[in-house]
Amino acid sequence: MLLSGPQVIVLAYDGLCTFEFGIAYEVFGLPRPEMGANWYRFAVCGIEPGPLRAAGGLTVTVDSDLGILDDADLIVVPGWRAIDAPVPEPLVAALQAAHRRGTRIMSLCSGVAVLAASGLLRDRRATTHWRYVSSIGERYPDISLDASVLYMDEGSLLTAAGSAAGIDLCLHVVRGDFGTEAANSVARRLVVPPHREGGQAQFISTPVPQAREGIRLGPLLEWMRARLDEEQPISLLAGRAGMSMRTFQRGFEATTGASVGEWLLKERLRHARELLEKELAISLDDIAVASGFGTLATMRHHFRKRLGTSPSAYRRSFCE
């Protein structure tokens, strides 16, 4: 079947991230005769002479170069070879020209580094894997980065968080181009939900860095972690630390970067997530008590506010 739909072009480069590349091919390049003749056309663009090395020990040979980007309706940038690796000037110029033509440009995971280096995200909102937010933010302070979402759609510029969030963004694009039924069909073939609840905040690990734990407070923090289901008033904690309440609060924030209440909330969320992931036989009510929330309603409130999901949805995501 000769296809006539939007032209999707995925970049290939030395050090290619094969997982993100595979996501783009699976959604946009896999033959789908059930979708009809107006489904996506797919091509690969080599940004440099080959053969190209790819993650996993593969070698990739690409026939087309940057010239084919002139015909693109959507350009996909897989995760970049390194978050601080320079972006070749010819690629920067090609992406800038494509953007001026109104071509949609999408990055997956660390591919945001390419869009950032091209200046396309200046004064725009974007996302990437939570591990890279700080690094990208330091290099490009004019980008408004959001580490809590799975993807960001800024019209002609789209960015995805971690690698698997690329699936969510690709399905979002299909939904916008061809409707919900088409996106659901692709999702069923991928055996993934057509729309995931929540954002990447639910996957961020936030333990207190050991290097920052003071000599006096380190043992206390472990004591607090072991008793998350108990009340922990500041007066009790300051007494155990051998400090006045004012000195303790100041020292606690300097050591952990958070107030006592904020630190306890994060630790209780972390503990609840661990129980939801591993202890299928424990009820949600018992997890709420064991984590120090007291009631399921309170735990549900904090999951919604901080993680953008519910305890039951979180459990399904990890345990089904």
Taking only the tens place, the pLDDT of each residue in 40-78 is 999 999 999 878 888 888 898 898 899 999 999 999 999
pLDDT band at 162 (very low <50, low <70, confident <90, very high): confident
In this predicted structure, the answer to whether residue 209 has a pLDDT above a threshold of 60 is no
Which has the higher per-residue pLDDT, 310 or 197? 310
**Is residue 284 a contact partner of residue 312, using CB atoms and an 8 Å limit?**
yes
In this predicted structure, the answer to whether residue 13 has a pLDDT above a threshold of 60 is yes
* pLDDT given for residue 319 in this prediction: 56
* pLDDT given for residue 222 in this prediction: 85
In this predicted structure, the answer to whether residue 12 has a pLDDT above a threshold of 80 is yes
**Cα distance between the two ends of the chain:** 37
CA distance 288 to 269: 10
Taking the domains of the chain in order of start, what are their residue ranges? 7-201, 210-319
Specify the fold of 7-201: Rossmann fold (3.40.50)
In this predicted structure, the answer to whether residue 22 has a pLDDT above a threshold of 80 is yes
- Which strand ranges, in their side-by-side order, compose the sheet holding 151-153? 41-46, 7-12, 74-77, 104-107, 157-160, 151-153
Which has the higher per-residue pLDDT, 105 or 215? 105
Q: Is the dihedral of CA 5, 163, 23, 310 positive or negative?
A: negative
SS percent in the chain: helix, strand, coil, step 5: 50, 10, 40
pLDDT band at 188 (very low <50, low <70, confident <90, very high): confident
In this predicted structure, the answer to whether residue 285 has a pLDDT above a threshold of 70 is yes
* pLDDT given for residue 261 in this prediction: 92
Write out pLDDT tens, residues 249-280: 988 888 777 889 988 998 899 899 888 878 87
The Cβ of residue 38 has, within 10 Å, a number of other Cβ atoms equal to 12
In this predicted structure, the answer to whether residue 217 has a pLDDT above a threshold of 60 is yes
* pLDDT given for residue 211 in this prediction: 40
pLDDT band at 210 (very low <50, low <70, confident <90, very high): very low
CA distance 289 to 200: 25
The Cβ of residue 212 has, within 10 Å, a number of other Cβ atoms equal to 12
Mapped onto helix, strand or coil, the DSSP state of residue 152 is strand
Closest CA to 196 of 77, 275, 307: 307
* pLDDT given for residue 193 in this prediction: 63
For the purposes of burial, counting CB atoms within 10 Å of the CB of 167, is it exposed (0-12), middle (13-18) or buried (19 or more)? buried
The mean of the pLDDT values for the chain is 86
Mapped onto helix, strand or coil, the DSSP state of residue 46 is strand
Specify the fold of 210-319: Arc Repressor Mutant, subunit A (1.10.10)
In this predicted structure, the answer to whether residue 215 has a pLDDT above a threshold of 70 is no
Summarize the confidence of residues 178-184 as an average pLDDT.
85
* pLDDT given for residue 6 in this prediction: 94
Summarize the confidence of residues 80-107 as an average pLDDT.
94
CA distance 278 to 282: 9
* pLDDT given for residue 195 in this prediction: 60
Q: Tell me the whole-structure pTM to 2 decimals.
A: 0.64
Closest CA to 102 of 21, 175, 157, 177: 157
* pLDDT given for residue 63 in this prediction: 87
Label residue 93 left, alpha or beta by phi (over 0 means left) and psi (-120 to 50 means alpha). Answer: alpha
